[in-house]
Amino acid sequence: MSNEGDNEDVDHELRVSKIRDGTVIDHVRGGQALNVLAILGIDGSKGEELSIGMNVPSDRLARKDIVKVEGRELSQDEVDVLSLIAPDATINIVRDYDVEEKHRVERPDVVEGVLSCPNAACITTGNEPVTSRFTVLEDGVRCSYCETIVREEIASLIDT
Amino acid sequence: MRHDHLITSKQLSRADIETVLDHAADIAADPSAVADRHAGTLLGLLFFEPSTRTKMSFETAMKRLGGDVVDMGSIESSSVKKGETLADTVRVIEGYADAIVLRHPKQGSATMASEFVDVPLLNAGDGAGHHPTQTLLDLYTIRENAGLDDLTIGIMGDLKYGRTVHSLAHALTNFDTRQHFVSPESLRLPREVVYDLHQQQDGTGIREHESLEDILPSLDVLYVTRIQRERFPDENEYQTVAGEYQIDVETLEAASDDLTVMHPLPRVDEIAPEIDQTDHAAYFEQAHNGVPVRMALLDLLLSDDGTAGPDGTDDTSGGDLDE
């Protein structure tokens, strides 16, 4: 298996510390790293060990962010949801300093409980016992209840 | 597969619509044939917003089928006032009634409520979202007056918040129609509705306008809705646009003699009363059609096997709401 931070952008990846076991989320669009953490529900309050690189030069993306989460391997569901704000991301699962698995994100058909509907008149914005649900469109997301379509600023809908 | 709930007109295929309209026509011709068909059946009416026509026509329809209604009454006298959620309310009423009719000010309320109940739930208006049973009576009226194919229809007024417009527009894509949407810029169709219309009809039959003038002569039907004063932050802005979307006999001089004018009601001043006496006016007929259409819909939904023959007997050869 290759060493963490293989080939492309190796110098830049090494700007943030290597991890022993966990996940490296690479090729996140520049400026989206904090939204990636929000969508994963990671805010550091539980003692997670995090390394974040933001707006570092990249060959594939002009500028990219990198997020490294020590001691946690992301589930496929989490990876899929990431695609909404980081469609170019690659997910590296690291074990004992080596990249054991490498995945590209795939867009899911539906995301539940992750985003809040921006429509104040939507039933999901009240105190009903309902989990938000959005269908994923080619160029955005759509509330399964009020049908509002959001194409821009999806990250601002992240239910933190 | 048959539908358990009716939430949006997008659920309805052309066959579904024709099944309901055909059954409604049979009922209108001979209401006595179904008079006792649903004796003992109770329909729960949950209206979280004021309603006259929709509520009373559902009540009339159920009673004319031999059943009865249980009515939540006003919000002020219900547990909603104590903070009960809609999810809890529908779960309680499910235990009382065989079907539920829901009107609620929040978009998506009917979708959410349907996830909590097993009895059929009919959306009688969810905020600015949908109003599919209104659409069925609209289609019935259009079919009676102008037919549903090779139809040019103008839909004018508040297209942004007009739930009857959204539902009607979706349903019309099942037929050979050309739809012209006429509104002020600020009250154009929501992009969600436009998105769906383009998905359903690849956009070829859809046009948006700010003026009725150019398209009026080509219309078979003009469906007028109220420009809602309360939607405008500025009274002057409302006055400017409202006047442009009112029709009178003079306006209709440019229209075909066969033009059918419809309105989901209530109207305020968007259709001059003088039009009531002309052959164009179909809006009171439209309101009356709510009863046989809702009788047909309830009959189809509440029949044990989802079928109801035109003579009021079970007829497995047709009548399933989703053939």
ipTM comes to 0.90
Q: Do A123 and B105 touch (CB under 8 A)?
A: no
The region of weakest confidence among A14-18, A100-104, B88-92, B290-294 is A14-18
Higher pLDDT, A38 or B127: B127
Query: Which pLDDT score is estimated for B315?
Result: 41
Query: Which pLDDT score is estimated for A17?
Result: 66
- Residue A102's DSSP bridge partners are A92
- For A128, the closest of B86, B126, B127 (CB atoms) is B86
Q: Over 50: is that where the pLDDT of A155 sits?
A: yes
- The model's pLDDT over B195-237, given as tens digits with 9 standing for 90+, comes to 999 988 766 789 999 999 999 999 999 999 999 887 777 888 8
- pTM assigned to the model: 0.87
Domain boundaries, chain B: 9-129+288-302, 132-286
Q: Evaluate the CA torsion angle A14, A17, A23, A24 in order and state its sign.
A: negative
Q: Which of B137, B107, B138, B141 is nearest to B123 (CA)?
A: B107
- Per-position b or e across B54-84, b if 16+ CB within 10 A of its CB: bbebbbbbbbbbebebeebeeeeeeebeeee
Which fold, B132-286? Rossmann fold (3.40.50)
Cα B304 to Cα A85, B4, B308, B313: the distances in Å are: 48, 12, 9, 11
Residue B11 labeled ligand binder: no
Q: Do A123 and B112 touch (CB under 8 A)?
A: yes
Residues of B identified as active-site: 53-54, 82, 103, 131
Query: Boundaries of CATH 3.30.70.140 in chain A?
Result: 22-104
Name the CATH code of domain A110-157 (choices 3.90.850.10, 2.30.30.20, 1.10.3130.10, 2.40.110.10): 2.30.30.20
Query: Boundaries of CATH 2.30.30.20 in chain A?
Result: 110-157
Query: Which pLDDT score is estimated for B305?
Result: 56
Q: Indicate the class that CATH gives domain B9-129+288-302.
A: alpha beta
Domains B9-129+288-302 and B132-286 share a fold: yes
Residue A143 labeled ligand binder: yes
Mean pLDDT of chain B: 91
Name the CATH code of domain A22-104 (choices 1.10.10.10, 3.30.70.140, 3.30.365.10, 2.60.40.10): 3.30.70.140
Q: Smallest CA–CA separation between A143 and chain B, in Å?
A: 9
Q: Do B108 and A129 touch (CB under 8 A)?
A: no
Q: Residue B43 and residue B121: Cα distance in Å, rounded?
A: 10
Sheet holding A63-70, edge to edge: A49-57, A63-70, A22-29, A90-95, A98-104
Query: Which pLDDT score is estimated for B203?
Result: 64
Query: Which pLDDT score is estimated for A45?
Result: 84
Residue A139: CB atoms within 10 Å: 8
**Which of B109, B166, B167 should we substitute to test contact with A (largest number of A Cβ atoms within 10 Å)?**
B109
Size of interface A-B (CB pairs under 8 A): 54
Which tokens in the block code for residue B290? 């709510």
Query: Which pLDDT score is estimated for B317?
Result: 36
Shortest CA distance from A133: residue in chain B: B112
Q: Smallest CA–CA separation between A154 and chain B, in Å?
A: 16
